[in-house]
Amino acid sequence: MSQGPHLSIRDVTKTFHGDEPFTALSGLSLDVRPGELLTLVGPSGCGKSTLFALIAGLTEPTRGEIRIGGAPVAGPALDRGVVVQQYTLFPWRTALGNVAFGLEGRPGARRERARELLSIVGMSGYEECYPHELSGGRRELVALARSLAFEPGVLLLDEPFAGLDRGTREWVGDELVRVWERTGRTVLLVTHDVEEAVRVGRRVAVMTSGPGRIREVVDVCSRTGSARRHVGRLLREEIAPARGRKVAA
């Protein structure tokens, strides 16, 4: 297996050309290692969603390059498996039906695999429930199982738990860590919540205020205890000048 990064973002700049050009990301570089769970935090408007759209291949960088497994990203592909906030499940399909939808093969085998995936996300026993019968947290777990059905090389999660209350968020975040441990997937999770970034991520990439770059990648494991304080301080430093600029503008 290649020892290089699974997801490599090299010196990426993204400028939107509207009435006036606007640079959302400027010279951003980040490596996500194979099988790593990395979280990304940054001030509001620093370009997190823009970066995700680039990784997902929905839009192209103005400059720089993104590679997954060594191959340049050149358009959307299922191997990246994207789950976004308020990921929509089909309301007319059961949890099992929603997960089986992403699978190929004979109906019996698909249902069996869907059952397995629901079990991986801790949702055994809820196979026949419809989305409206499930709590928000459980719906996110079904969505997670569905995205795993595509066997994504890299799983991209853009604030998937933002709509959940604090307690549910912690529980679903812990479930995500468990799923990550069991599947060995490379996972990149965007959040604006420092607590969640440090709790879920093994490394936390902190972005600067816009135009976004990576300010620092914090190794949570080697900083036990102090990682939350450190990430919180970096983020506060980024938010303060960003506010200052808006006031001055």
Ligand X SMILES: Nc1ncnc2c1ncn2[C@@H]1O[C@H](COP(=O)(O)OP(=O)(O)OP(=O)(O)O)[C@@H](O)[C@H]1O
- How big is the site for ligand X, counted in residues (CB under 6 A)? 14
Q: Does residue 107 touch ligand X according to CB under 6 A? A: no
Measured CA to CA, the distance from residue 112 to residue 229 in angstroms comes to: 44
Q: Are strands 21-32 and 7-17 parallel, antiparallel or unpaired?
A: antiparallel
| Contact call for residue 160 and ligand X (CB under 6 A) | no
Name residues whose C-beta falls within 8 Å of residue 208's C-beta, 6 or more positions apart in sequence: 42, 46, 214, 215, 238
What is the rounded CA–CA span in Å between residue 176 and residue 158?
13
From 44-52, 103-111, 149-157, 175-183, span contacting ligand X (CB under 6 A):
44-52
Q: Which stretch binds ligand X (CB under 6 A): 5-13, 46-54, 100-108, 125-133?
A: 46-54
Type and span of the H or E element at 188: strand 186-190
Of 170-189, which residues contact ligand X (CB under 6 A)?
A: none
**Binding flag, residue 81, ligand X (CB under 6 A):** no
Q: How far is residue 111's CA from residue 127's CA, in Å, rounded to a whole number?
A: 10
Q: Which is nearer to ligand X, 42 or 131 (CB)?
A: 42
Q: How far is the CB of 243 from ligand X (least distance, A)?
A: 14
Residue 211, amino acid: P
Scanning residues 47 to 76, which ones bind ligand X (CB under 6 A)? 47-50
Residues at the site binding ligand X, with contacts judged by CB under 6 A:
16, 18, 22, 24, 42, 44-50, 192, 210
